[in-house]
Structure 1
Amino acid sequence: MTVAARLAAHPAPAPHADLLAAAVETALDCSQACTACADACLSEADVEDMRRCVSTDLTCADVCAATARVLSRQSTPLEDVARALLVACVAACSACGDECAQHAGHHEHCRLCAEACRRCADACRALLEVLA
C-alpha cells in the first residue's frame, strides 16, 4: 500500500492530497537514506572526515521523520506547525544534501542521500506553496 492510498483512506482526506502524499513519502525515504548514510559514514576508513556528515545526516533523519509523522495526521491539522516543520525539513534537507554532495564522488551512500534530500526538499517546498 502506498502513502497516497493510506492518506486517501482517511474519512476526511486533506486538500492537496497528491502534494501531501509526496511530502510524506519523500520525508520517510529521506529519513531512511540519512540514517543509512550516517551508519555507512561511521564504517568508512576516513571516519574522522565524516563527522559533520554523520551529524547532518542524523539531524535531517530526525526532522524528516517528525515531518512525515505530523503531516500524516489529518484529523486535526495544525497548519502553523505543519508549515514550520516543512520549512525546517527544507532547511535540514538542503544542509544535508549539500554536505553529502561534497562526499558523493567518493561515497555512493552520500550520493544517494544527497539525491533523497533534494527530492524531499522539493516536495516540501511544493506543499508549502499551496499551504501559504
Structure 2
Amino acid sequence: MNATYEECIKACLECMEACNVCYDACLKEEDVKMMADCIRLDRECADICAFAAKAMQTDSPFTKQICQLCADMCEACGNECKKHDHDHCQQCAEACFRCAEHCRKMAS
C-alpha cells in the first residue's frame, strides 16, 4: 500500500473518531435541538470516513470517487462544527478539514 493511501487512511480514521466523539458529546449538550445538524453530519461523516478508509485498504476501483465524496462531506461537517464553541465541535472541525484535504489529493 502506498504512503499516500496510508496518510489518507489515517486522516479518515482520526476524523471518524472525532466525529463519533462529537456526536456523543452533542447528544449530552443542554440544547440538543440546536445541535441537530451537527449530530446528523457527525454521523454521516463518520460513516463515509470509515467507508473511504476501507475503499483505500481494499484498493477499490471507486477510491477516487469515494474520496471525493468523503472530502465534500468532511467539509460540510467541519463547517457545521466550526459554528459551535464546544471543544468537541472545534476539534472535530479540525479533523474534518484535515481529512478533506487528504481526500481531495486522493481524488485528484
1:87 aligns with 2:68: yes
Write the distance in 2 (CA, Å) between the matches of 1:55 and 1:83.
24
Paired residues, number: 108
Q: TM-score, normalised on structure 2?
A: 0.95
Determine what percentage of the aligned residue pairs are the same residue.
39
Q: What 5-or-longer segments of structure 1 have no aligned partner?
A: 1-12
Write the distance in 2 (CA, Å) between the matches of 1:68 and 1:114.
19
Write the distance in 1 (CA, Å) between the matches of 2:69 and 2:106.
13
SS at match of 1:44: coil
Structure-to-structure mapping, 1:8-27, within 5 angstroms: 13=1, 17-27=2-12
Structure-to-structure mapping, 1:1-132, within 5 angstroms: 13=1, 17-73=2-58, 77-79=59-61, 81-103=62-84, 106-129=85-108
Write the distance in 1 (CA, Å) between the matches of 2:60 and 2:103.
16
Q: What 5-or-longer segments of structure 2 have no aligned partner?
A: none
Q: TM-score, normalised on structure 1?
A: 0.78
Identify the structure with bigger relative contact order (alpha carbons < 8 Å, sequence gap 6+).
2
Partner of 1:6: none
- Shift in Å at residue 66 of structure 1? 0.5
Structure with the larger helix share: 2
CA deviation vs aligned residue, 1:13-67 (integer Å, no higher than 9, x gap): 4xxx221111100001101110110110000011110001000000000000010
Write the distance in 1 (CA, Å) between the matches of 2:87 and 2:54.
28
Larger Rg: 1
